[in-house]
């Protein structure tokens, strides 16, 4: 099989048209798709929802993505980087709350200083929590050596959305320079896989200029690179970004959300045992968008545990929910919401991608490799 990382040719194949057909589905056909996704979710990942406490570590970013509110050239953003003590406090909270996993997300800075900061932070978090948290990083494209150092310091998963698998669309929503290079993004995804990370990627749905063909291509891309986790959400406009002037091209919010739900449902059918995130952007378009995402096939939620004082400075898009809610309020709110969607939160379990575990077993024959489903954070409850 051709490796999509080798060059810019993206996978297509006979089923792209079929996927486009499903993205267009209405009425009974649409209902059938969601029923299939629900059945496959039950069979392969059950009704378990895993939480990852999201720490929005820093809004400093060297990039200028045309869609993002914290892009380098937005002068209105008050820039911050959390202190180590603040991150560790958030990590301790994640343990106490039984979240069991932490995502450290931030703008893309690839200086050696930032690399060292993160390595040190990972070591401190490990020490403070007895290595009980499953740690995910989401810090953009980084040199291979940096990614290796972070893995050694305790990170096990990495999220790097491809944003769109169509290089032409990628070029339209990013500045045309070496810092925003599609091939570099693919290379980074390959490095993450080679280094043994659980690899998460994803895309935005309903971007200006985006076609259903592009979206079908995104799903095939996730399958082609054999992603362990996928986070995709609707594009949500932000007034202080260049893409805002194309807002008349956007689908109405309800239609955009529905398209995002169909993307989740089709992906669950295509990749039955991966982790799929019910993203916050879903909730920006619809008060119960995340619950709808769970019903469509998602099984991961990332509650925000960033200190409230920083939340308003990390606005990638408008209408971001939970800006004022303390972590504790979100915890109770989420528990109820997930139950209403018919699922149940598995507190204290890492909830690693089953897909990753299976691939590791196939490769090494080690049945215990990656088997962290039952990892209970007993130690953490004592810290």
Q: How many residues bind ligand SF4 (CB under 6 A)?
A: 10
Does the footprint of ligand FES cover residue 325 (CB under 6 A)?
Answer: yes
Residue from 52, 71, 157, 295 touching ligand SF4 (CB under 6 A): that is: 71
Q: How far apart are CA 332 and CA 109, in angstroms?
A: 34
* Span 347-366, contacts to ligand 5AD by CB under 6 A: none
Identify any residues that bridge with 301 across adjacent strands, giving them in sequence order.
Answer: 51
For 376, other C-beta atoms within 10 Å of its C-beta total: 14
Query: What is the pattern of x (binds ligand 5AD, CB under 6 A) and - over residues 58-97?
Result: ---------xx-----------------------------
Q: How far apart are CA 270 and CA 7, in angstroms?
A: 24
Does the footprint of ligand 5AD cover residue 238 (CB under 6 A)?
Answer: yes
Q: How far apart are CA 13 and CA 18, in angstroms?
A: 10
Q: How far apart are CA 172 and CA 164, in angstroms?
A: 11
Query: What is the pattern of x (binds ligand FES, CB under 6 A) and - over residues 305-324?
Result: -----------------x--
Q: 329 is in the binding site of which of ligand FES, ligand SF4, ligand 5AD, none (Cβ under 5 to 8 A by kind)?
A: ligand FES
CB 325 to ligand FES: min, Å? 4
Q: Which is nearer to ligand 5AD, 52 or 238 (CB)?
A: 238
The three-state DSSP-derived secondary structure of 325-375 is CCHHHHHHHHHHHHHHCCCEECCCCCCCCHHHHHHHHHHHCCCCCCCCCCC
* Span 316-345, contacts to ligand SF4 by CB under 6 A: 316
Judged by CB under 6 A, the stretch of 40-48, 58-66, 200-208, 372-380 that binds ligand SF4 is: 58-66
Contacts of 70 (CB under 8 A, 6+ apart): 59, 61, 77, 107, 313, 314, 315, 316
* Span 213-232, contacts to ligand 5AD by CB under 6 A: none
Q: How far apart are CA 227 and CA 271, in angstroms?
A: 9
Residue from 4, 200, 233, 370 touching ligand 5AD (CB under 6 A): that is: 233
Contact (CB, 8 A) for 84 and 124: yes
Does the footprint of ligand 5AD cover residue 200 (CB under 6 A)?
Answer: no
Contact residues toward ligand SF4 (CB under 6 A) are 61, 63, 65, 68, 70-71, 107-108, 140, 316
Contact residues toward ligand FES (CB under 6 A) are 322, 325, 329-330, 333-334
């Amino acid at each position: 099989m051709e490796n999509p990382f080798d060059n810019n040719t993206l996978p297509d194949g006979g089923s792209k048209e079929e996927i486009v057909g499903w993205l267009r589905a209405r009425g009974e056909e649409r209902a059938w798709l969601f029923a299939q996704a629900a059945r496959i979710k039950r069979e392969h990942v059950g009704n378990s929802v895993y939480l990852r406490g999201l720490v929005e570590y820093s809004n400093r970013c060297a990039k200028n993505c045309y869609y993002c509110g914290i892009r380098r050239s937005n002068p209105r953003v008050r820039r911050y980087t959390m202190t180590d003590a603040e991150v560790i406090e958030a990590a301790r909270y994640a343990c106490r709350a039984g979240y069991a996993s932490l995502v450290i997300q931030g703008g893309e800075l690839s200086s050696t200083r930032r690399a060292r900061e993160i390595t040190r932070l990972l070591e401190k978090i490990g020490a403070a929590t007895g290595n009980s948290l499953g740690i995910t990083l989401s810090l953009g494209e980084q040199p291979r050596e940096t990614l290796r150092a972070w893995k050694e310091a305790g990170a096990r998963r990495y999220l790097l959305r491809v944003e769109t698998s169509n290089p032409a669309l990628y070029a339209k929503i990013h500045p045309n320079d070496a810092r925003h290079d599609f091939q570099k993004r693919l290379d980074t995804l390959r490095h993450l896989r080679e280094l043994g990370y659980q690899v998460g990627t994803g895309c935005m749905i309903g971007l200006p200029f985006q076609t259903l063909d592009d979206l079908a291509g995104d799903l095939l891309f996730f399958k082609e690179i054999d992603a362990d986790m996928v986070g995709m959400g609707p594009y949500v406009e932000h007034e202080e970004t260049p893409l805002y002037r194309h807002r008349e091209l956007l689908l109405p919010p309800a239609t955009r959300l529905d398209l995002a739900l169909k993307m989740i449902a089709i992906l669950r059918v295509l990749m039955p045992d991966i982790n799929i995130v019910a993203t916050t952007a879903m909730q920006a378009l619809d008060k119960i968008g995340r619950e709808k995402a769970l019903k469509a096939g998602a099984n991961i939620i990332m509650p925000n545990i960033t200190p409230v004082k920083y939340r308003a400075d990390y606005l990638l898009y408008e209408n971001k929910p939970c800006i004022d809610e303390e972590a504790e309020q979100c915890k109770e709110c989420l528990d109820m919401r997930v139950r209403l969607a018919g699922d149940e939160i598995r507190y204290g379990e890492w909830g690693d991608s089953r897909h990753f575990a299976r691939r590791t077993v196939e490769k090494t024959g080690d049945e215990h490799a990656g088997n962290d489903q039952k990892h209970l954070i007993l130690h953490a409850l004592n810290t």
